[in-house]
Amino acid sequence: MKTLDVSVVTPDGPVLEDSYEMVSCRAESGELGILPGHIPMVAPLAINAVRLKRDGKTDYIAVSGGFIEVRPDKVTILAQAAEKPEDIDVDRAELAKQRAEDRLNQAKSDDIDFKRAQLALNRAMNRIEVARGK
Amino acid sequence: MASLRDIKNRINSTTKMRQITNAMQMVAASKLNKAELNAKAFVPYMEKIQEVVASIAAGNSDTEHPMLLSRPVKKTGYIVITSDSGLAGPYNSNILRSVFQTIEKRHESKDDYTIIPIGKIGSEFFKKQGMPIAKEITGLADQPEFAEIKEIASYAVNLFADEEIDELYIYYNHFVSAITHRVTEQKVLPLTDLAEQDSKTTSMYEYEPDEEQILKTLLPQYAESLVYGALLDGKASEHASRMNAMRSATDNAEEIIDELTLSFNRARQAAITQEITEIVSGAAALE
């Protein structure tokens, strides 16, 4: 089976480097599935889990604020933050979720604060989901 | 000549001082190690993002994004990276002098520029000079994480996007080696020199959904990472510079202690000699 080299890189250092059979993720324009031999592509990613498949097993990575760069044999995910399930601090994410929800209840929907709180909520939910393995 | 007890006191206090500077040197050395690791961990991210941005910029020139365009400069922003605490040798003074001179040379009036100082020393300096400050940032961790920097970086990038400023420069001490740091000026925005920077990457990409969307998310990220990179570099220089300053302080204290010990011994010997002379002359007077 052909594989893809996947590396996930953040400003605080590389998070993961390994080879997988398939990468699926949600780009801002919709779901993307990438197999080896894909044409070179760049797409911004939504705050979501990236799913990496190999030997029938799936690894999850929580990614926020990043984009994906695809080459025929290599996929690079550049994100401002990315965590493996075991590195996620669930308590912290829960707190962040709580905070974001409180703020959403107070703010008006056209506020910048509202948008920021929404993003924060998405990030927290994403982390919690990934940590629990869906 | 100082009395024996005076000299003794000075030796004691200098010894204590040496202990402190020695400890500070070791602390700085370990922080430097970590800072270097951080800076190294950041390199792959920076290289990758640079590569993608450059290939988009080189790939086609009819994409227009405000961050790629130079516009007439009415106001310039300067991010100046200094430290929060002193005792770092010439680290802060070098950078402040250089920024001050550049600004004096480039701008005639205070309305033409604004400064975003990072670190207490910098913001105090610019305040004292009466220079305009957009926002001051202090109390940054020694090993900053990207999340902490993001706010600063996006603030500066937003200033540019909102056309508050038309250019953004960053000043920091570039870490060359543990003993050499160079004051460096880097132009962050607009990103005009992207295309020629990296012509070897000729890989063409598909863009999903299109180039404009990509540039919209990518360019702010790129600018932010430039700021973050400069900050990591600056932090490494800060720790190195503090380590050197503390090492020479420790060496100097050692020298002073040696000198004082010598004069202490001399004074003691002089006192003994005098005592003997007194006894001998007293005995001679009795005979």
Assess whether pLDDT exceeds 60 at residue B133. Answer: yes
Q: What are the chain A neighbours of B217 within 8 Å (beta carbons)?
A: 28, 44, 67
Give me the helices (H) in B107-210, please.
Answer: 120-128, 146-161, 194-197
A48-101 pLDDT, tens digit per residue, is 888 898 888 888 888 887 888 888 888 989 888 888 888 888 888 888 888 888
Using the beta-carbon criterion (under 8 Å), do A40 and B203 form an inter-chain contact?
yes
Q: What per-residue confidence (pLDDT) applies to B198?
A: 47
Q: How open is the CA angle B19-B20-B22, to the nearest 5 degrees?
A: 65
* For residue B50, pLDDT beyond 50: yes
CB spacing of B48 vs A76 below 8 angstroms: yes
Would an 8 Å CB–CB cutoff place B276 in contact with chain A?
no
Torsion angle of the four alpha carbons A29, A30, A36, A39, in this order, in degrees rounded to the nearest 10: -30
pLDDT over 50 at B104, yes or no: yes
Long-range contacts of A88-92 (CB under 8 A, 24+ apart): A88/A62, A88/A127, A88/A128, A88/A130, A88/A131, A90/A127, A90/A128, A90/A131, A90/A132
- Pair B226, B188: CB distance under 8 Å: yes
Specify the DSSP element, H or E, that contains B57.
helix B4-59
Instruction: Name B167's bridge partners.
Output: B76
Nearest C-alpha of chain B: how many angstroms from A134? 26
The average pLDDT across B49-68 equals 72
Residue B199 has pLDDT above 80, yes or no: no
Q: Is the model's pLDDT at B237 over the cut of 60? A: yes
- Mean pLDDT computed over B164-168: 87
| pLDDT, greater one: B148 or B130 | B130
Q: How far apart are CA B160 and CA B191, in angstroms?
A: 11
- Residue A132, both tokens: 């629990």
Asked if B225 and A29 come within 8 Å (Cβ–Cβ), the reply is no
Q: B85-99: b or e for each residue (b if 16 or more CB lie within 10 Å)?
A: eeebbebbebbbebb
- What's the mean pLDDT when you consider all of chain A? 84
> Span B8-13, mean pLDDT?
94
The string over A68-92, giving b where at least 16 C-beta atoms fall within 10 Å of a residue's C-beta and e elsewhere, is bbbeeeebbbbbbbbbebeebeeee
Chain B's closest residue to A40, CA to CA, is B205
As a whole number, the mean pLDDT across chain B is 85
Chain B: closest CA distance from residue A131 (Å)? 20
Beta-carbon neighbour count of residue B136 at 10 Å? 16
Nearest to A11 among B45, B205, B209 (CB): B45
Coil, strand or helix at A64? strand
Beta strands in A55-131 (DSSP E): 57-71, 74-83
Contact call for A40 and B206, based on CB within 8 A: yes
Interface test with A, best of B205, B231, B232 (most A CBs within 10 A): B205
Q: How confident is the model at residue B193 (pLDDT cuts 50, 70, 90)?
A: low
Number of helices (H) and strands (E), helices first, in chain B?
Answer: 6, 5
Contact A80 B205 (CB under 8 A): no
The pTM assigned to this predicted structure is 0.80
Nearest to A29 among B45, B205, B209 (CB): B209
Question: For A40-55, what is each residue's pLDDT tens digit?
Answer: 888 888 888 888 988 8
Q: C-alpha distances in angstroms, B65 versus A45, B62, B96, B189?
A: 20, 10, 33, 12
Between CA B252 and CA B248 the distance in angstroms is 6
